[in-house]
Amino acid sequence: MKKAAVYTRTGDNGTTGLVGGTRITKSDSRIHLYGEVDELNSYIGLGLSQLDKSFDKTFLLQIQSILFDLGSNLACEQDKRAQFKLPQIKSSSIEKMENDIDQMDSSLAPLKNFILPGGDPAAAAFHVCRTVCRRIERQMVDFDESMPGEVPENALKFINRLSDYFFILSRYINFTKNVEETLWVPEV
């Protein structure tokens, strides 16, 4: 079997194809949105590469897969998603995330101040994931306002919860590594 070419040349004019074949400009808000989801997925990969081998990465790998599902849905018009049988974000994934947040948070000291992102390299990487996730959330709300019905079901809730997950995960990693968090102290 012949290996497929990495390049197609079909986007050389500044357009790209959606899953259903529709061509749109690469500057379209839809493209920005699923590009940001792809960026987040890459940052998760960076965070994963920083984790010790003893850390259970199973759920983070599931999150990466869910983000691919989300990207495929964003790359397809809502009325064509069923035709292509694109996987949807399940409520159970959000519930699993909430359970993991609660479990990790139960080990952590309550916050009385804001903390500065950083600490262990893995924790710092997941703080970056948190901020990229918040950017996606803002863009997703904007996209939903301009293209009603095009944001997949559960997507906004998943992304909102995911940023909380990354915040707690970052804190939890620092906790397990005995890395002290740096509190934000406003300059006066």
- What is the full per-residue pLDDT of the chain (188 aa) written as tens digits? 777 777 777 677 787 777 888 887 888 888 999 999 999 999 999 999 999 999 999 999 999 999 999 999 999 999 999 899 999 999 999 999 999 999 999 999 998 889 999 999 999 999 999 999 999 999 999 999 999 999 999 999 999 999 999 999 999 999 999 999 998 988 87
Q: What is the pLDDT of residue 4?
A: 75
Tokens encoding 149: 């019905």
pTM: 0.92
Helix (H, G, I), strand (E, B) or coil at 85: coil
All residues at 6 or more sequence positions from 139 whose CB lies less than 8 Å from its CB, including other chains: 29, 32, 33, 36
Calpha distance 136→66 (Å, rounded): 15
Q: What b/e readout covers 64-90, taking b as 16+ CB neighbours within 10 angstroms? A: bebbebbbbbbbbbeeebeeeebebbe
Long-range contacts of 139-144 (CB under 8 A, 24+ apart): 139/29, 139/32, 139/33, 139/36, 140/33, 142/29, 143/29, 143/30, 143/33
CA torsion through residues 104, 105, 111, 115, sign: positive
